[in-house]
Structure formats: structure tokens, C-alpha cells
Amino acid sequence: MAISKKIREQITQGSWIRRMFEEGIALKKKHGVDKVFDLSLGNPILEPPPEFRTELLRLAQDETPGTHRYMPNGGFPETRAAVAAALAKETGAAFTAADVIMTCGAGGGMNVALKAILDPGDEVVVIAPYFPEYFFYIDNHGGVTKIASSDPDFLPDTDSLGRALTPRTRAVIVNSPNNPTGTVYPAERLAQIGQAIRRAESRFGTEIYVLSDEPYRKLLFTGAPFPFVLPHHARTVVVTSHSKDLGLAGERIGFLAANPADPGRAEFVEASTYANRTLGFVNAPAMAQRLVARIQDALVDVDAYRKKRDFLYGALSEIGYECVEPQGAFYMFPKSPMPDDRAFVALLQSKLVLVVPGTGFGSPGYFRLSYCVDDRTLEGSVKGFAEAFEEAKSR
């Protein structure tokens, strides 16, 4: 084979989610689609809000010459201004268009930011349980991933974070609401993260970014405002997308926003704009940029996700599963009733319920399920969860 050894290894060993996905396809072929309950994937199930279609139809009629041409690599000035205004309203921070770059989703944005700040061998700290793609994103730009741990309630352990910070640390990735746990990090913990980072900066004479990965920040069930990382560390970059809050995952539209409190942000934005171009994204899709500029206040029906959470959290708790109640996103991270999470996931699979072992998220002994599935799949999975729990107890 002519492909790189590293990529071959990453493809074969890298992704539990992908592995479960492939096993799911095989099981569905064997038993029939409606007999298999696949909770392994985080593909947003809710349709975009009605404002999306109205705007899309309007845009389709727009014959202004140049509408579909290249634009500045950071995006249309009017889209950046609309995003900055919405973010300023949400956060109270004085964002302007110059602080914002439109990106191909949060995944594209994270790659752009990492390319902008990493030299080969630089370190990026992620907090377990983590979104496994971070490893590949960091590796894409010559970085090295270091892992900090969480408390049993899945909030970052700030002592562990402090120990993970070294003279080579260039960034810490914070992901709240979290994939895979659904936990929302409270302001006090974010303040402690900021303090730990500043202690490391003054000890090592370095500058450390927080890359705040927030694609789930509007999928919140608490009723309380979202605790932003921004006030707790000046060198913070918001990385997000409209994949989940507008249900537009396939349209690849998101943005980066550098904290107005960061005096070095103009240089970061310049470097990220260059990275957006040279990574080959060139710019975020033009139609999607025009679209989201007009619907910044729209949102999918978050209550539908809350109802799904309530149903499954209630059903699993009743069976006896231990789980921290998710406060946002659309994932749950229950404790495996057997010490070996992979063995338990295999047992669940024998009941035709598909989830992902916690090992894949850096936290063995747990499993991740995604409840952004239709109600038939959710309801149908409960029997398998109950049977597997009983069998696990007797093993």
C-alpha cells in the first residue's frame, strides 16, 4: 500500500466510533434495520429551524453578480460582523468583525487555530473524557497531545491540569458542554483553569491559549446562562459551529472568535486567516455564510433533546446504571456495570444495542451513548440495556 504508515495506523486503531459504526452496518444487514438500536453516533437529528428555509429560498433568488465567487479568506465582512454582534450580545464582550473568522465547522476551526499557534513538538492539553478527534487535529500540525483528568463528576481536575502544563504547552482545549459526558463546566471551575494556566505562564515565561470548543453551547437544559470561558483567560479563542444549534452539520459552517480582551488577537486572526487558506479550506462555504448571517438568533428545538435525555436518563437510572445527569449536548456517559467497558459494550452489542466504550474517550470503565436518535430507537434500546445490566451483574 502506498499510503503513509502513520495514517494507516490511525485509520485502523484510531476510532472506536468508526468501528462501532461499521459493526452497526453489519448487524443491521444481518438482523434488519429496525431490530438494531444504534446510539453510537452524534449525528444531529433535529431539522434546521424554519428561518433556515425562508432564508435559503430568498438566497436562491438572489442574482447579484459575484454571490458565489471567492471572498476574503476570513469570510464575508457582513457575516463576520453579524456573528460578532450576536456573540457580543451573548457574552457581553466587545467582539467586532475583525475578531471573527468563518470556518468549515468547529472541526475546521480547531485545525485552523492549531495550525496558527503550533510549532513541531509543541504540546496541547486535552481533558479526559475528551472528543477523540482532538488527537488527530493536534497531530495534523505537529503537536503532541497531553492529557489531564477529570473528577468523578466529569469536571476538570485542575491539579491534574496544572501538572500537565509544561514549558512546551501552547494550548489547552476546553469542551463544554462536553462530548462525551454532556457536562457543563461551571464558572468557578473555569476560573480555576484560568488561574492554573496563568501560574504556568508566569513560571515558564510562556503564552498559553485556551481553545474553547463550544459547538453544543446552545443545547443546554439547565435554564441558566452558558458559563463562557472568555472572562477567565484573555488568550481564549471561541471555536464553534452551527452543526448542532441550527442542525447544519452537513453544510460545514462555523467560526473562530478571538477574545477582545487579548491584546495579541490581531496577530492570531491574521495567522488563522492564512491557515484557513493554506489548509485548503480557502474560505467557509459562501451560501452557508450568507445564510447564517441572517439567522444568528434561530435555534433547533432544544426541548426535543431535553425530552430524549429525560427519557433515557430516567430509564437507565431505573435499571440501576450510575450516570452523571447530562446538562447539555446529546450524550450520556454511564458507568459500565463491568470493569471492562469493551466487554460490556460487546455484551450490549449482543442485545443489538450499539454504544461506544469509554476507552475511546480516554476514560475506561464508562461507555458513551448518543441520544440524538429517533424515539423508536431510544425506546427500543431499553430492553437491551436492562438485559445486559442483569447479565453483567452475574458475570
Ligand X SMILES: Cc1ncc(COP(=O)(O)O)c(C=O)c1O
- Residue ranges that bind ligand X, judged by CB under 6 A: 42, 105-107, 131, 175, 179, 213, 215, 241, 243, 249, 254
Give whichever of 158 and 243 is closer to ligand X, judged by the CB atom. Answer: 243
Nearest approach in angstroms of CB 243 to ligand X is 3
Least distance to ligand X, CB of residue 1, Å:
28
> Shortest approach of ligand X to residue 331 CB, angstroms?
8
Of 174 and 196, the one with the shorter C-beta distance to ligand X is 174
Q: Which residue is closest to ligand X by CB? A: 105
Q: How far is the CB of 102 from ligand X (least distance, A)?
A: 12
Give me the least distance between CB of 105 and ligand X, in Å please: 3
As measured in angstroms, the least distance from the Cβ of 151 to ligand X is 19
Give the residue with the Cβ less far from ligand X, 45 or 338: 45
By beta-carbon proximity to ligand X, the closer residue of 116 and 239 is 239
Quote the least distance from Cβ 217 to ligand X, whole Å: 11
- Cell numbers for 101: 473568522
